[in-house]
Amino acid sequence: MRICIIADLHVGSAFAPWPIGEANSAGCRVEPNVGQRYLNAHWQRIAGEVPAFDVLVLGGDIIGGGEPKAEGRWAVEPDPGYQCKAAEALLAPYLAKLVQGGEVVYIAGTEYHEGPEASDIEALARRLGAKEDRYGHCAQTWVVRDWGGWRVDIAHRQGLSQRMPLGSNSVEGQYSDMNALQADIIIRSHSHRASWAYEEGANKHPFRLLVSTPAWQLQTRHAQRSTHPNRLWSRNLGLMILELTPDAAWVRPYVFDHPRMVGDEPTT
């Protein structure tokens, strides 16, 4: 069984992918900037490389929102409705990799990016085919699923420990045990850090897999102003595929580096 996890896409941000030829709310065709062209190229490349998968998990902050703290300065499109439209266009090649009868899970991100109670992206989650929870919401804040013999615990937020990004996920595993959920796999996003590790398990498997997902957003001015020592610099960008068999679970990362600027163009 395969699970594809895409998170922190931040569509609408000037530092995130934007589909070529997509019109904004003013009816103008947005010409991607140099960083967006770099991201778009990897987005399309990876879409062609990933294998078919059974579950598509959208791990939150798929759109960037209006960036109110920056007064919209770094939004190529501030309208969340048009951001959702662009995100849907971007996700099309990945949805095409979902096997027939496969499942889409949409995890709501932060209110800053996706609106109060995920109000700005609920319609997008529904259009993408995400299943409703018991309250009728397609964008869910926390999901626990049994897939391929593994109990998988998914949410957006995790602690922003940049030196040890998986430490907070280990704590999430302890909370899982305290709530008698005993998850085998913990998946968190939000920190923009690609990392994974194994620790002693608490359910039917001898180990627990801790996963922190990468982002698709380049470093922003907000990140550079951070009080963290490394200024919230994420080592990699991209997505992850989880491979599950009855006896093993492992991560297949599809990641790439931030661009190295040479003249006016980024290079790989």
What does the block give as tokens for 68?
């109110």
Q: How far apart are CA 208 and CA 152, in angstroms?
A: 10
**Residue 231 pLDDT class (50, 70, 90 cuts):** low
Q: Which residues contact 97 (CB under 8 A, 6 or more apart)?
A: 4, 47, 50, 51, 52, 53
Q: Which pLDDT belongs to residue 143? A: 94
Q: To 10 degrees, the CA torsion angle through 89, 260, 242, 110?
A: -60
Whether residue 113 is predicted with pLDDT greater than 80 in this model: the reply is yes
Fill in the amino acid letter for 34: V
Q: Which pLDDT belongs to residue 36? A: 93
Q: Which pLDDT belongs to residue 256? A: 94
Identify whether the C-beta of residue 5 lies closer than 8 Å to the C-beta of residue 251: no
- Model pTM score: 0.90
Strand, helix or coil at 185? strand
Whether residue 208 is predicted with pLDDT greater than 80 in this model: the reply is yes
Condensed to tens digits (0 to 9), the pLDDT of residues 14-27 reads 999 999 888 888 88
Whether residue 130 is predicted with pLDDT greater than 70 in this model: the reply is yes
Lowest mean pLDDT among 20-34, 112-126, 245-259: 20-34
Q: Which pLDDT belongs to residue 16? A: 95
Condensed to tens digits (0 to 9), the pLDDT of residues 54-67 reads 999 999 999 999 88
Nearest to 7 by CA among 154, 168, 197, 199: 154
Mean pLDDT of the chain: 87
Whether residue 73 is predicted with pLDDT greater than 70 in this model: the reply is yes
Q: Which pLDDT belongs to residue 144? A: 94
**Residue 243 pLDDT class (50, 70, 90 cuts):** very high
**Residue 232 pLDDT class (50, 70, 90 cuts):** low
The percentage of the chain sitting over the pLDDT mark of 90, rounded to a whole number, equals: 58
Q: Which pLDDT belongs to residue 225? A: 58
Lowest mean pLDDT among 9-18, 32-41, 133-142, 170-179: 170-179
Distance of CA 73 to the CA centre of its chain: 23
Condensed to tens digits (0 to 9), the pLDDT of residues 147-200 reads 999 999 999 987 555 555 567 788 888 878 888 888 999 999 988 888 888 988
Q: What is the mean pLDDT of residues 91-101?
A: 97
What does the block give as tokens for 67?
């960036």
The percentage of the chain sitting over the pLDDT mark of 70, rounded to a whole number, equals: 89
